[in-house]
Structure 1
Amino acid sequence: MLTVDSLRADVYQELMEDVTKTIRGVEFTTAFATASNTGSSMPTLAAGVFCDRVANGEPNLKLGETSGKDELTTMAESLSDAGYDCSLWSDNVIFGSERNYDRGFDDGRAGTPNWKKRAQKIIQRTGSDRLFNVCRWAYFNVLGRIEEKVISDNNYYISANTYHKAVLDSLEQASGGQMHWIHYMDVHHPFEPPTEYLETRSLHTDRTSSELAELSSQAIIQNRGKGMTDEDIDDIEQAYLAACEHLRDQLVSFIETLIDRDHYVPGHDVIVLTADHGEGFDRDRHGMLGHTPTPAFWDDLVHVPLVVGHPEWEEGTIDCQVSQIDLVPTILRAVDVSVPPSVDGQATALPTELCREHVYFTATGPYRTYHGIRSNTGWKLFSDRISDSESIELTGSDDDQAKQDHERILLTTAGKSTETIRFECQLDDKTRPTDGDEREKWRILRQQLCDTKGEVATRRFDAMLSDETVAQLEQLGYVDNIR
């Protein structure tokens, strides 16, 4: 199971087709995550459920300590019960034991923050914006440059190459059924592509990889890149694309090695490559940069790559709309493991059976859970939240923050390269589209959404984000608008 944090589908299709060829599987070109951020998409990837099954009246998205506590069975628990040795490899804290996503795994490195993120947490707890900005500058401009000279793997997150070596070593020493899940952070901000990949990109301003990493960190955690030009944002996107190219080469090499060593045998074993969500750089249209903390379901954020190497599926391409909600039960069926009754999705025997007329989205913000729906013709109805805050906020009351929220409902149409707003109104506004076609699409989609998932957005939570969840978001670099 290979999941990439923040990898958009269009970028995968443009830059990473060699990975599909190496996997020798089925590529689903119109696949959708169920959420626009890791915290909200993890319940789907781990347990085959929408995140509102985990929220349980609070916005903290934490699994129970055992399946008996939340009545959910994770994919790893199902495989472990069937005799598989399951290992999870990631330093994303959302995947770790603090939210109990290590259930069913008995090996690997899961959600353990490195020294950089632990140091960042301590600094953020002081509540000083000035100290945070000074330390961030020092990391990218002083410590980062020293690390580049003395450490081969000096990125903010553990690199794909490091995990690949560890997983290959583990496979060499193992026997029997194995399940390894790697969650890559290589294309998550701060974008830190190797210099040789960045040099192939045209930049508006000559910057080093470290300087671009600092710029991307500053732009995204401030949500809209306040004070940055469109050229700056374009350069940040070029760094993101360079990081994607580097990961492509790492993935191809890794999968080729798996095949050479008989750790992945096409036609016998299962391999899945996908992403937990995408990444957005259109701040004018989205009202944000990156993918969080604003819950929103633009195609840039939820259209993700999906390639499945399945023992009974021939290589090929499926263009119809599919949802990750069906992934866990389909994987379990592929290896003849019982699908737990807790899953929201359906197990399928054929790749075409994954096609859906409608796919659904659910993401939890600090105050509400937001929902959306997309038809197979590209019409989409969803709610989102934009904060009017234009500075990094480490302190502040919930009431003040709520006043800075702009919540709305959008009707859009998504094409291959653009998504167009057809109608927009505030969340509690009773106005509807006046155009006949748009009004009918609005009515049908809203009724379908309400019948299946409930209202476009829930009422505000009685409880706010816990200190633990805030700390986890801070460790990932999200310090804006999370209180």
Structure 2
Amino acid sequence: MKNIVFITVDSLRADYVSGPKAPASLETLPRMTEEWLTCSTAYANAPYTKQSFLSILSGSYPWTFESAETGFDPDRVHIAERLSEEGYATGGFHSNTYLSPTYNYDRGFDYYLGRDSGDDGDTESRLTSLFNTAVERAVATEELSDLIYWTYQNAGKRLGIQLGSNLYKPAEELNQHIVNWTQRQSKPVFIWAHYMDVHNPYYPHEGTVSEGISRRRAVKLFHKVNEQRSEAAEGDIDTLERLYRGEIEYFDRQLGNLLERLDETIGSEETLLVFTSDHGEAFNEKGRVFHPGSALYEENIRVPMMIDGPDISGGEIESPVSHIDLVPTILNRAGIEAPKSVDGRDIAGYDFDATSDRIVFTESYDHEDGGLMGTDGEYKLIRDLETGEDLFCRRNSEPEKINQPDETESIAYDRLAGALDDHVQSVTNAEVAATDGEISENVRLQLRKLGYKE
């Protein structure tokens, strides 16, 4: 049995890992791109976390679930459950509220950070402790939650003060939790680690391009742009993007640190390593900032995806792939049959035809009035399911309609349009089981603090 390390990072764009936009100081990510099996045309199956991880951890499209609002369906096989059944020690490490036990993401994990360890290790000031106590004591009345959120928002927007505990655990701290747990295991491990550092609000780090920006200024800027969105000043967006690049530089160093330490504890020769992000991030390229749930453009949905391990050669897969392909790829490498509910394919297997005429999909919101993107790697079609409007273009071009498509473009459009029709029909017919998911006011507040709109 192989050890399996599944690393995900929030909000990391593919074009900030390699290419002109990637920070020049990166070391670990470029080395992985060069040495690992790299998917250069990889897509998230949804443009935001709570929908995207349904696919990442199940291998199925988000719309086949009951609802992203209630999380992981009780009848859907979670990859951690499958690996646990086969004898793996399973550890989940994250600090994203959307991935908490509230949404059933802890299923199958012997150890789940937050569920099994609380918030030990966080250092809080007296003011922060008092604020957190107020949150914890907030009864389920929307008025009190709104008051606390108003206090948090105004402290950040006007004073640049981040009230409350850190919105997520920094990579350095998450690494230590992972290594500590791994050292206690005596059988093959499955580690899932999700890093939040690249997610807003972005904080400055020494020795990165964001050095020189004060933390207080960064906090104020986040609140300002989060409120103004597309109307934010160009200079503010530029500073925000600089902070984002700095977070990537910081994460890159910590990723290298994790891989080195895991090599010392479990060894890398018999370990399967998988890396991706849950979605991208926008900086007002098309009137959108951060990662709104309706954004189906390249900056929001094209993600890095890399795989390394025994019997996996380096190289590049140019054919389009997506998150649904990761679960079958991991399970097949472990010699485990994928559940029938899996929609993806083993992209690292000998029988995967990297030149196949394949279409992958990204879903937004609901299949009745949301949005859907399909791409064959050369062209893409974005459909607004509420209005029926289609946006057709070459994948790497600005998403504008082709008013007078030539013969080749017409063939591509008809093929993608038919594929979108078939996809909507297939998920409409999918059987799903309802799940009761009650979200506490504390969870709702944490999500709002991260910039999510209700």
1:232 Cα deviation from its structure 2 partner:
0.8
From 227, 233, 243, the counterpart of 1:229: 233
The alpha-carbon distance between structure 1 residues 117 and 252, as it changes in their structure 2 partners (threshold 3 A), is farther
The alpha-carbon distance between structure 1 residues 253 and 479, as it changes in their structure 2 partners (threshold 3 A), is closer
- The CA deviation string for residues 54-80 of structure 1, in whole angstroms up to 9 with x for no partner, is 1x2x55252234xxxx2x211111100
**1:170 partner SS:** helix
Contact 1:117 1:476 in 2 (8 A): no
Could you tell me which residue of structure 2 aligns to residue 194 of structure 1?
205
The alpha-carbon distance between structure 1 residues 315 and 411, as it changes in their structure 2 partners (threshold 3 A), is same
**2:64 partner SS:** helix
- Using the alignment, how far apart are the partners of 1:224 and 1:456 within structure 2? 33
Could you tell me which residue of structure 1 aligns to residue 276 of structure 2?
274
The alpha-carbon distance between structure 1 residues 142 and 452, as it changes in their structure 2 partners (threshold 3 A), is closer
Could you tell me which residue of structure 1 aligns to residue 215 of structure 2?
209
Q: Please, which runs of 5 or more residues in structure 2 have no aligned partner?
A: 1-5, 123-128
From 16, 41, 54, the counterpart of 1:30: 41
Which amino acid in the other structure matches residue 290 of structure 2? G
The alpha-carbon distance between structure 1 residues 273 and 137, as it changes in their structure 2 partners (threshold 3 A), is same
Determine if the alignment matches structure 1 residue 107 to structure 2 residue 106: no
1:366 Cα deviation from its structure 2 partner:
11
Could you tell me which residue of structure 1 aligns to residue 390 of structure 2?
409
Structure 1 segments of 4+ aligned residues over 6 angstroms from their partners: 111-121, 127-131, 455-458, 478-481
Could you tell me which residue of structure 2 aligns to residue 6 of structure 1?
11
1:83 Cα deviation from its structure 2 partner:
0.4
Q: CA RMSD in A?
A: 3.6
Could you tell me which residue of structure 2 aligns to residue 342 of structure 1?
341
Q: Please, which runs of 5 or more residues in structure 1 have no aligned partner?
A: 148-153, 201-205, 386-404, 424-432
Contact 1:297 1:384 in 2 (8 A): no
- The CA deviation string for residues 142-189 of structure 1, in whole angstroms up to 9 with x for no partner, is 6549x9xxxxxx743101111111111111111111111111100100
The alpha-carbon distance between structure 1 residues 74 and 223, as it changes in their structure 2 partners (threshold 3 A), is farther
From 169, 174, 185, the counterpart of 2:196: 185
Which amino acid in the other structure matches residue 319 of structure 1? E
Contact 1:76 1:86 in 2 (8 A): yes
Q: State the identity as a percent.
A: 25
The alpha-carbon distance between structure 1 residues 129 and 440, as it changes in their structure 2 partners (threshold 3 A), is farther
Determine if the alignment matches structure 1 residue 21 to structure 2 residue 31: yes
- The CA deviation string for residues 237-293 of structure 1, in whole angstroms up to 9 with x for no partner, is 11111111110011012112222x142423x2101111010101125x2x321112x
The alpha-carbon distance between structure 1 residues 367 and 134, as it changes in their structure 2 partners (threshold 3 A), is farther
- Using the alignment, how far apart are the partners of 1:37 and 1:234 within structure 2? 22
User: How many aligned positions are there?
Assistant: 421
State the TM-score, normalizing by the size of structure 2.
Answer: 0.81
Determine if the alignment matches structure 1 residue 161 to structure 2 residue 162: no
The alpha-carbon distance between structure 1 residues 242 and 335, as it changes in their structure 2 partners (threshold 3 A), is same
1:94 Cα deviation from its structure 2 partner:
1.6
Which amino acid in the other structure matches residue 38 of structure 1? T
| Further displaced range: 465-474 or 357-366 | 465-474
Contact 2:391 2:399 in 1 (8 A): no
Contact 1:84 1:179 in 2 (8 A): yes
Contact 1:279 1:291 in 2 (8 A): yes
**2:208 partner SS:** helix
Contact 1:89 1:183 in 2 (8 A): yes
The alpha-carbon distance between structure 1 residues 480 and 182, as it changes in their structure 2 partners (threshold 3 A), is closer
1:26 Cα deviation from its structure 2 partner:
1.4
Contact 1:191 1:216 in 2 (8 A): yes
- The CA deviation string for residues 29-50 of structure 1, in whole angstroms up to 9 with x for no partner, is 2211111011111111111111
The alpha-carbon distance between structure 1 residues 117 and 345, as it changes in their structure 2 partners (threshold 3 A), is farther
Determine if the alignment matches structure 1 residue 89 to structure 2 residue 88: no
Determine if the alignment matches structure 1 residue 60 to structure 2 residue 69: yes
Could you tell me which residue of structure 1 aligns to residue 268 of structure 2?
265
| Further displaced range: 242-251 or 130-139 | 130-139
- Using the alignment, how far apart are the partners of 1:22 and 1:346 within structure 2? 22
